[in-house]
Chains A and B, each alone.
Chain A
Amino acid sequence: MDTFFLLFEGLATAAQPMNLMFALLGVMLGTAVGVMPGIGPALTVALLLPVSLSFGATGSMIMFAGIYYGGMYGGAISSILLNTPGETASIMTAVEGNRMAKRGAGGKALGAAAIGSFFGGTFATLGLALVAPFMVSVALSFGTAEYFALMMLSFMTVSAAFGGSMTRGLTALFIGLTIGLVGTDKLTGQVRLAFGVPEMSDNISIAIVAVGLFAIGETMFLASQHINHKTKAEAVKGSVWLNWSDLKRCIRPYIRGTGLGFLFGPLPTGGAEIPTFLSYTTEKRLAQGEGRRDFDEGRGAIEGVAGPEAANNASAAGTLIPLLTLGLPTSATAAMMLAGFQQYGLQPGPLLFTNNAELVWGLVGSLFIANLMLVVLNVPFIGIWVKLLTIPRPWLYAGILTFATLGIVGAQGSAFALILLLGFGLIGFLMRRFNYPLAPALVGAILGPLAEEQLRRGLMINRGDWSFLVTSNIALTIYAIAILAVFGPRIWAFLRSRGTGRSSRA
C-alpha cells in the first residue's frame, strides 16, 4: 500500500496549479511540434529540451512528461492525415489510419487514436507505479560490476535493435562514446579531446548533441532529397467522437495493445516498434464482421489504429521503468528523457527514488494528468492541430531550424555552441544518408562517461584487477540477457519477415 500512498502524493504534487500549468504547456507544445510531418516524439523532445531548462527540475520534468505524450499524439495525427510517420512506432498507425482518412473517416481514426493513447498510457503508467518500487529494491544491491554490466547491456541492445546492421549500430555507438570523452575527466581532471578550445574542455552539453544529430541532421537530410515538399494533408472528415459501436470495436484492441506495449516497452529491444507491429498483426488476424471487411477491402479498419496506438503509449510508459529505476534508456525518446534529467544533474536509477522521491512520483503523477489533458483538450481542439499541417513545408522546416538554434543559443549563451551544433548536424546528416542509426550515438554520449566511471571505480577498488567484472552472478546474468537481447531481435526479424509475407498475400 506504500506505493499507492506515494502515488497519491505524486498526484497531489502534479495537481499543484503551477505544475498543472507546466503539464498543460508540455502537452500543447509537444502536440504542436509532434504534429509536424516527419517529426516523432524523440525529435520533439530534443527540440524542446533547451526550452524546458528555465523551469526548475520538477517543473521541467512534468513539462517533459507532457511533451512526451503530446509528441506521441501529435505524431499520430500526422501519420493518419499525411501518412508521414515520424518514427517506427507510428508506422502501423499510418497504415490503417491513412486509409480511413482517405475514405473520409479521418475524424474517427483520430478519436480512436486519442482514446487508445489515453487507455494505453493510463494503464501502463499504473503498471509502472506498481513495478518500479520492486525494480528499485533489486537495483539497490547493485555495485560497480553490476552497473557496468547494465550499461554494456544498454550499449549492446541499443546498437543491435535500432536499424538493420550491427556494424552500423556499433559504429554509431562508438561515435557517441567518443563524444562522451570530450571534456574534463571526472576522476583526475585530465582534459581530453578538447584541442585547446575552452568551450570544449567543459563537457559538451547533451542538448547540443541531441538537437544537432536529430533535428539539424534530419533537416539537412530532408533538404538533400529530391522530393516535392508541398504535399497536401487529408482534410479531417467526420466527427472525432466515437459512437457506441465504434467503441465496442476498439475496446478489445485497446486491451490487447496495452498488454503488448507494457510487456515489450521495458525490454531493451528498441521501444515501440515490436509491440505496435504485433498489435497490428493480431488485430488484423482476429478482426471479424465489419472490421474484417475494412481490413480486407483496404478501407482502413479502426481496430488497426486502436491497437497500435494503445500499444504505442503503453510501451512509452513501459520504457520509463528501466529508465527511472536503472537509468537505462531503451528507446531514442527515453535517451532524450535521460538527457533531460542530466541537465539538472539528476541521474535516474534506484537512488533517484530515495533521494528525489517527490520528483519521481510527481513525474509519475503528471503522466496520468498529461494523459487526461491530452484526451480532454485534444479531441475537441483537433482542428487547431490540423491547421498546423497546412503550413507550407519550407516555412515549417525553416521554423523548426530557427527554433532549434534559438534553443541552443539561449541555453548555452554563446554563438560557439552553434559551431558545435553545425558539426553534429553534419555528422547526423552523414549518418542518416548512409543509414547509420542515431539512437546508439546519443546513448553512447550519455552513458559512456557513466560506464567509464563505474569501470575505473571498480578497477580502483580491486587494484587494477579486471576479473571483478565477471565474478558477480547478477552481472553474469545481465551479460547473458545482453546476448539474448542482441540475437533475439535477429530471430524475431526472421520470423517477422515470414509473417509479413504471409499476411500481405492473404
Chain B
Amino acid sequence: MPADKDLTAGETRLSADQTAPEVRLHGEDEVGQGSGLRDLAGLGIAAGLFALAFVIYSDAASYPVRRSYAQFGPEIFPYLIALGIVVLAGITTVIAWRGGFEARARLNYGGLFWIVAAIVVEIIMLFAGSGFIAASTVLFAFSARAFGQTTHLLNFAIGATMSTLLFLLFRYGLGLALPSGPLERGIDLLLR
C-alpha cells in the first residue's frame, strides 16, 4: 500500500526537525522499511490467526441444531468471523512471506519479563489469600524494576504505602470489595 508508506514518511519528516516524541503512538507506523526477508514472527501471527479461526469453527460446530424462522442459530456469526479470520490470516501469511512487516525495535526481554512476572505473582498471591495490599505491593515493586528502578527496598516501601492508601480509599471511600487477607482484616477490625 503505497499511500501508507507516504503517510509514515510524512509523519517522520514532520517530527525529524525536532526531538522526536519518545513514545510511539497508537497507529503510527514504525520508522524503517521491511527487510524483504521472510518474517518468522509475522508467519507466527498468521499461524495464530489460523488456529483462532479453527477454535471458533470447532466451537460453533458443536452447538446443538435448532429449528428457527431465521434458519440460522447462534453458529452463524462465529462461522462468518472464522471465515473472515481465515482470509486475513492468508493475507498476513503473504505479507510476512514477502517481508512486508516493518522492522521492529530490539526487544528488552528483561523489562517485559518483570511486568509479566509482576502480574502473575499478584494473581498467585490473591488466589493464595494474601490480600490486596501485599499483592499490590509486590506488583508495584516488580513493575518499577521492569522500568529499570533497582532500589528494591524503596520500591517495596512506596508500593506498600500506595497500596494501603488505595485500599483505604476504595474500601471505605468508594465501598469497592477488594480481596482481604490477614492485613486487611486487621485494618477492618481496627477501624470498626
Say which one of A105-113, A257-265, A457-465, A474-482 lies at the interface with B. Answer: A457-465
Produce 1/0 per residue, B120-138, CB < 8 A to A. Answer: 1011001100001000100
Produce 1/0 per residue, A195-224, CB < 8 A to B. Answer: 000000000000000000000100110111
B3 to chain A, nearest CB (A): 5
Judge whether B159 is part of the interface by a CB distance below 8 angstroms: yes
Judge whether B168 is part of the interface by a CB distance below 8 angstroms: no
Residue of B nearest to A332 (CB): B26
Is the CB–CB distance between B140 and A398 below 8 Å? yes
Residues of A contacting B192 with CB < 8 Å?
none
Residues of A contacting B146 with CB < 8 Å?
223, 394, 397-398
Is the CB–CB distance between A401 and B143 below 8 Å? yes
**Which of B63, B72, B77, B143 is in CB contact (< 8 Å) with A398?**
B143
- How far is B21's CA from A231's CA once the two chains are assembled, in angstroms? 12
Main secondary structure of the interface of B (DSSP, over half): helix
Residues of A contacting B15 with CB < 8 Å?
91, 95
Is the CB–CB distance between B13 and A500 below 8 Å? yes
Is the CB–CB distance between A192 and B105 below 8 Å? no
Judge whether A493 is part of the interface by a CB distance below 8 angstroms: yes
B101 to chain A, nearest CB (A): 7
Is the CB–CB distance between A224 and B7 below 8 Å? no
Is the CB–CB distance between A223 and B126 below 8 Å? no
Interface residues on B, range: 35 or more
Residue of A nearest to B89 (CB): A171
Residue of B nearest to A426 (CB): B116
Produce 1/0 per residue, A379-421, CB < 8 A to B. Answer: 0000000000000111101110111011001110101001101
Judge whether B81 is part of the interface by a CB distance below 8 angstroms: yes
Given contacts A398-B144, A398-B159, A402-B139, whether A419 and B176 have CB atoms under 8 Å apart is no
Judge whether A178 is part of the interface by a CB distance below 8 angstroms: yes
**Which of A181, A402, A419 is in CB contact (< 8 Å) with B159?**
A402
**Which of B78, B112, B136 is in CB contact (< 8 Å) with A181?**
B78
- How far is B18's CA from A85's CA once the two chains are assembled, in angstroms? 14
Judge whether A127 is part of the interface by a CB distance below 8 angstroms: no
- How far is B116's CA from A219's CA once the two chains are assembled, in angstroms? 10
Residues of B contacting A399 with CB < 8 Å?
140, 162
Residues of A contacting B19 with CB < 8 Å?
83, 98
Produce 1/0 per residue, B162-179, CB < 8 A to A. Answer: 110010001000111111
Is the CB–CB distance between B6 and A188 below 8 Å? no
Residues of B contacting A222 with CB < 8 Å?
23, 147
Residue of A nearest to B145 (CB): A394
- Within 429-453 of A, Cβ neighbours of B (below 8 Å) are at 429-430, 432-435, 437-439, 448, 452
A172 to chain B, nearest CB (A): 10
Judge whether B47 is part of the interface by a CB distance below 8 angstroms: no
Produce 1/0 per residue, B75-93, CB < 8 A to A. Answer: 0111001001100100110
A125 to chain B, nearest CB (A): 26
- How far is B148's CA from A445's CA once the two chains are assembled, in angstroms? 35
Judge whether A342 is part of the interface by a CB distance below 8 angstroms: no
Residues of A contacting B28 with CB < 8 Å?
88
- Within 1-54 of B, Cβ neighbours of A (below 8 Å) are at 1, 3-4, 6-11, 13-15, 17-19, 21-23, 25-30, 41-42, 45, 49, 52
Is the CB–CB distance between B111 and A422 below 8 Å? no
Is the CB–CB distance between B149 and A409 below 8 Å? no
Judge whether B74 is part of the interface by a CB distance below 8 angstroms: yes
Judge whether A227 is part of the interface by a CB distance below 8 angstroms: yes
Residue of B nearest to A94 (CB): B21
Judge whether A456 is part of the interface by a CB distance below 8 angstroms: yes
A219 to chain B, nearest CB (A): 6
Is the CB–CB distance between B70 and A464 below 8 Å? yes
Looking at A230, A460, A497, A498, the one whose CB has the most chain B CB atoms below 10 A away is A497
- How far is B52's CA from A174's CA once the two chains are assembled, in angstroms? 10
- How far is B121's CA from A402's CA once the two chains are assembled, in angstroms? 13
Residues of B contacting A190 with CB < 8 Å?
63-64, 73-74
- How far is B6's CA from A188's CA once the two chains are assembled, in angstroms? 48
- How far is B132's CA from A494's CA once the two chains are assembled, in angstroms? 52
Given contacts A178-B56, A223-B112, A464-B71, whether A496 and B104 have CB atoms under 8 Å apart is no
Residue of B nearest to A79 (CB): B21
Residues of B contacting A85 with CB < 8 Å?
21, 23, 25
Instruction: Known pairs A175-B52, A398-B141, A493-B7; list 17 more (Cβ under 8 Å).
Output: A54-B174, A54-B175, A83-B18, A164-B7, A174-B85, A177-B84, A181-B77, A192-B59, A223-B115, A394-B147, A398-B139, A402-B139, A415-B123, A434-B42, A434-B45, A498-B6, A504-B17
Can you list 6 residue pairs at the A/B interface with Cβ under 8 Å? A42-B26, A162-B27, A226-B105, A399-B140, A437-B27, A496-B10
